[in-house]
Structure 1
Amino acid sequence: MGVQLSDEGALSTGAVAAAPFIAGATAGLVCDATVFPMDTIRVRQQARYRAPSSVAATESLTRPGRFWSAVSRMQRYSVWKEASSILKKEGIRGYYKGLSVVMLTSCPAFGVYYLTYEASKSKLGSTTGWSPDAIHLLSGAVANVFGMVIWTPQEVIKSQTQVQIGASMSPRAVIRDIYRENGIRGFYRGAVIGSLTWTPLSAIWFMSYERLRLLSCCREELAKEGSCSAGRLAASGFIAGVIACIATSPIDVVKTQYQVAGRGIASSSSAAIGASSVPMIALALLRSEGVGGFFRGVWAKSLWYGTFMAINITVYDTVKLSLQGSDC
Structure 2
Amino acid sequence: MPDIRAPTLLESIALGGASCVFTVNFTHPIETVKTRMQVTGDGLGVVVRNTLKNEGVGSFWKGIVWAWGREGSYASIKLGGYAPVRDALGASGADAPFYLKFAAGALTGGVGSVVGNPFDVLKTLAQANQGKSVGLTTLVSNMYTEQGIAGFYRGVSANIARACVLNATKMGVYDVSKGYVTNATGWNRKDVKTSFCSATIAGFFMTLTVSPFDRVRTALMSQPPDAKIYNGFGDAFAKIIAESGPASLWRGFIPIWARFAPTATIQLLTIEVLYDAAGLKSI
TM-score (norm 2): 0.88
Q: Which residue of 2 aligns with 1:30?
A: 22
The answer to whether structure 1 residue 151 and structure 2 residue 116 are counterparts is: yes
CA contact under 8 A between 2:114 and 2:160: conserved in structure 1? no
Between the two structures, name the one with larger relative contact order (CA 8 Å, sep ≥ 6). Answer: 1
Q: Which residue of 2 aligns with 1:302?
A: 257
CA distance in 2, matches of 1:135, 1:104: 29
Shift in alpha-carbon separation, 1:217–1:325, aligned structure 2, 3 A: farther
Q: Which residue of 2 aligns with 1:48?
A: 40
Q: Which residue of 2 aligns with 1:175?
A: 140
Choose 1 or 2 for highest CA Rg.
1
Structure 1 position 49, deviation (Å)? 4.7
Q: Which residue of 2 aligns with 1:100?
A: 65
5+ residue gaps, structure 1: 1-7, 51-77
Q: Which residue of 2 aligns with 1:21?
A: 13
CA distance in 1, matches of 2:68, 2:257: 21
CA contact under 8 A between 1:46 and 1:296: conserved in structure 2? yes
Shift in alpha-carbon separation, 1:90–1:217, aligned structure 2, 3 A: farther
Structure 2 residue corresponding to 1:261, chosen from 223, 232, 246: 223
The DSSP-based 3-state class of the residue aligned with 1:125 is coil
CA contact under 8 A between 2:142 and 2:225: conserved in structure 1? no
Q: Deviations over 1:100-127 (max 9, x none)?
A: 1222342344333334312211111179
The answer to whether structure 1 residue 282 and structure 2 residue 244 are counterparts is: no
Structure 2 residue corresponding to 1:324, chosen from 264, 279, 282: 279
Shift in alpha-carbon separation, 1:126–1:309, aligned structure 2, 3 A: closer
CA distance in 2, matches of 1:137, 1:48: 34
Shift in alpha-carbon separation, 1:248–1:235, aligned structure 2, 3 A: same
Q: Which residue of 1 aligns with 2:77?
A: 112
CA distance in 1, matches of 2:136, 2:11: 31
Q: Which residue of 1 aligns with 2:203?
A: 241
Shift in alpha-carbon separation, 1:326–1:169, aligned structure 2, 3 A: closer
CA distance in 2, matches of 1:290, 1:110: 31
- Which residue type is aligned with residue 131 of structure 2? G
5+ residue gaps, structure 2: none
Q: Which residue of 1 aligns with 2:248?
A: 293
Structure 1 position 141, deviation (Å)? 0.6
Shift in alpha-carbon separation, 1:172–1:239, aligned structure 2, 3 A: farther
- Which residue type is aligned with residue 35 of structure 1? T
Q: Deviations over 1:235-290 (max 9, x none)?
A: 321321221221222222122111112379xx9xx85xxx5544343333223322
Structure 1 position 155, deviation (Å)? 0.9
Structure 1 position 16, deviation (Å)? 4.3
Shift in alpha-carbon separation, 1:255–1:227, aligned structure 2, 3 A: closer
The answer to whether structure 1 residue 208 and structure 2 residue 170 are counterparts is: no
Structure 1 position 135, deviation (Å)? 1.7
CA distance in 2, matches of 1:174, 1:282: 27
Identity of aligned residues (%): 18
Structure 1 position 42, deviation (Å)? 0.8
- RMSD of aligned Cα (Å): 2.8
- Which residue type is aligned with residue 166 of structure 1? G
CA contact under 8 A between 2:155 and 2:217: conserved in structure 1? yes
Q: Deviations over 1:290-323 (max 9, x none)?
A: 2211111111111112211110000011101222
